[in-house]
């Protein structure tokens, strides 16, 4: 996300803003379906490799990045690691940390993509067709939690799901007794995504 999904405190959000060049560089590499090496990120962000690595580690500490020994394998919801939420974007198969990321990322990019996930209630496969960043009209609804958290992957993403219908979403809320949040249709999720990922995808690393 541009800063965070809204669950992090101000100190953590400030850290994410400061790390935007590193996040943006890594995110662009991941869009090509490859690991973003620390050396590559450093060159694009005009930092030393040690500084780029430290910034990436800071972002990972709040669950907004995934790292391996080479570099970044996940950033701001986009990952080359296999998950239950996937997209085909410009012919490249990628995955995301949560179902909301499918819609939000593609909307911010203004791209065509096909997303696949499963209903958070019934488990039925949900296919989302997005054209020029617009998911179109659909009966599918999403849930965006808004409770405070310290790690986005661990605490926000498990509940940021899509559902076959508003009825399934309400049944899931009753069954899971989840916390507070918002129920949004796909177009509303896309609009939220344009705001949250917009600076990340548009900002040059320089």
Average pLDDT score over residue span 20-27: 96
Q: Mapping DSSP to helix (H, G, I), strand (E, B) and coil, where does residue 54 land?
A: helix
Spell out where 76-199 has E strands. Answer: 78-79, 85-89, 92-96, 113-118, 125-130, 141-145, 162-163, 181-185
> Model confidence over 65-112: pLDDT tens digits?
999 999 999 999 999 999 999 999 989 999 999 999 999 999 999 999
Q: pTM of this prediction?
A: 0.92
Q: At what angle do helices 49-61 and 38-45 cross, to 10 degrees?
A: 110
Nearest Cα to Cα of residue 175 among 189, 159, 188: 159
Higher pLDDT, 104 or 206: 104
Q: Please, are residues 128 and 105 in contact by the beta-carbon 8 Å criterion?
A: no
Answer yes or no: is pLDDT of 1 > 80. no
**Who contacts 160 (Cβ-Cβ below 8 Å, separation ≥6)?**
5, 98, 99, 100, 101, 142, 143, 144, 145
Grade residue 178 by pLDDT with cuts at 50, 70 and 90. Answer: low
- Taking residue 197's Cβ as centre, other Cβ atoms within 10 Å add up to 23
Two tokens at 81?
A: 């690691």
> Coil, helix or strand for 80?
coil
Three-state SS letters, 169-180: HHHHHHHHCCCC
Q: What is the pLDDT of residue 167?
A: 95
Q: What is the CA radius of gyration of the chain?
A: 16
């Amino acid at each position: 996300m541009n800063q965070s999904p809204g669950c992090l405190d101000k100190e953590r959000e400030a850290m994410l803003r400061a790390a935007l060049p590193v996040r943006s560089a890594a995110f662009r590499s991941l869009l090509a379906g490859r690991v973003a090496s620390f050396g590559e990120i450093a060159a694009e962000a005009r930092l030393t490799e040690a500084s780029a690595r430290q910034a990436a580690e800071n972002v990972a500490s709040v669950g907004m990045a995934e790292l391996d020994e080479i570099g970044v394998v996940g950033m701001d919801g986009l990952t080359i690691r296999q998950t239950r939420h996937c997209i085909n974007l410009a012919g490249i198969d990628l995955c995301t940390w949560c179902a909301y990321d499918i819609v939000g990322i593609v909307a911010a990019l203004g791209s065509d993509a096909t997303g696949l996930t499963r209903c958070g209630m019934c488990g039925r496969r949900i296919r989302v067709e997005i054209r020029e960043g617009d998911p179109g009209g659909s009966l599918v609804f999403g849930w965006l939690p808004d409770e405070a958290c310290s790690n986005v992957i661990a605490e926000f993403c498990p509940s940021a799901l899509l559902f076959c219908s508003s009825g399934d979403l309400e049944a899931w809320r009753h069954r899971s007794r989840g916390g507070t949040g918002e129920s949004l249709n796909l177009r509303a999720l896309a609009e939220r995504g344009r705001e949250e990922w917009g600076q990340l995808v548009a900002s040059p690393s320089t």
